[in-house]
Amino acid sequence: MPASGNLRSIAAMLGAVAFFSVMDTVLKLLSAHYPAAQVAALRGLTAMPLVIAYVLWRREAHTLLKVRWPLHLLRGVIGVAMLSLFTFALRELQLAEAYTIFFIAPLMITVLSIPVLKERVRPAHWAAVGVGLVGVVIALRPQGEGFFTWGALAVLGSALCYSVSAVCGRLLSRTDSAVSLVFWSMAMITVGAGVLAWPQWVPVQREHTTLLLTLAGTGFLAQLCITEAFRHGQASAVAPFEYTSLAWGAAIDWLLWHTLPQSHTLVGAAIIIASGLYLIHLERGQNTALPP
């Protein structure tokens, strides 16, 4: 892989993290006024026009019906749960706290890849997963009153949903188009979260129009950036820059809510990030060892 390709992909990943951070900030602001399921539905509703335009621009609408429906339905259900749980967690936690706990997702993907993708995981991988779990426990305030709060458990549940969705996405990518993955995931989140939210639907306030437009734009741009990041660069070179979300979370927490991560959050984050980087290092070494 040429160095220029990796640099382009790293820039795209940095952009994706920035857009996702702004999007999560909007989710947190909206969660103070609407139920979590409704915020998830609004995320889908605002994004669908852009997704449809993207499908038409790519001229790949004909691929939308040639899909493996059971896996798409599973991803849809999981997507609703993931976004609803994460939105609820953002209402309870600082952004930096939520991001720190969510960093467990790559480790969960490693574990799930064994039974689902039939991948072999070396003992060193298991050691990294174990260390990462220790980091999560530390981030969850093992000696404080916040240990196992509903917000923290919601992030863990969201991370698990994300991991299952990512593994399903890997399976689907073997047969289905990338456009169909994006379209049906967003469509099912819109419908599923909308059905859940409908009984307690709160009328959308006009003063939140700017937030909703920002939600649509940042979510769509983040999806384009992260797709670009992994299309041209090596995953092992690009993935570590996803951890810059912690810096964004801390900065936004300070600017909007005048809070900073506590020491246990930073220690837990350092341990989780170190274990994740070690997993990436192992993956890079394994790929290098493979014959061309």
- 260 burial class (0-12, 13-18, 19+ CB within 10 angstroms)? middle
Mean pLDDT score, 19-37: 95
- pLDDT on residue 1: 46
**pLDDT tens for residues 262-290?**
888 888 888 888 888 887 777 666 554 43
CB-count exposure of residue 199 (10 Å: 0-12, 13-18, 19+) = exposed
| Confidence (pLDDT) at 35 | 95
**Residue 19 reports pLDDT greater than 80:** yes
Mean confidence (pLDDT) of the chain = 85
CB of 76 within 8 A of CB of 164? no
Percent residues over pLDDT 90 in the chain: 45
Lowest mean pLDDT among 8-22, 101-115, 221-235: 221-235
Residue keyed to tokens 């038409």: 56
Q: Give pLDDT tens digits for 73-84.
A: 999 999 999 999
Q: What is the pLDDT of residue 236?
A: 62
Q: What is the pLDDT of residue 288?
A: 46
DSSP annotation of 120 reads -
**Angle subtended at Cα 22 by Cα 18 and Cα 24, rounded to the nearest 5 degrees:** 115
Amino acid symbol at 216:
A
Between 7 and 222, the more confident residue is 222
- Quote the DSSP letter at residue 60: -
279's tokens: 């997993």
In this predicted model, what pLDDT tens digit does every residue of 32-57 receive, in sequence order?
999 999 999 999 999 999 999 999 99
The model's pTM is: 0.86
Residues with Cβ within 8 Å of 26's Cβ and at least 6 positions away in sequence, in order, are: 211, 214, 215, 218
CA dihedral of residues 192, 193, 196, 200 (deg, nearest 10): -150
Residue 108's pLDDT band (cuts 50, 70, 90): confident
Question: Residue 240 pLDDT > 80, yes or no?
Answer: no
| Predicted confidence (pLDDT) at residue 2 exceeds the cutoff of 60 | no
Q: What is the pLDDT of residues 172-209, one digit of tens each?
A: 888 888 888 889 999 999 999 999 999 999 999 999 99
CB within 8 A of 20, min separation 6: which ones?
218, 219, 222, 245
What pLDDT does 193 receive? 95
Sign of the CA dihedral 143, 146, 150, 156?
negative
Give the pLDDT confidence score for residue 57 in this predicted structure.
93
Residue 291 has pLDDT above 70, yes or no: no
Q: What is the pLDDT of residue 289?
A: 45
Q: Residue 235: which pLDDT band, with cuts at 50, 70 and 90?
A: low
Residue 225, pLDDT score = 87
CB atoms within 10 A of CB 37: 24
Q: What percent of the chain has pLDDT over 70?
A: 87
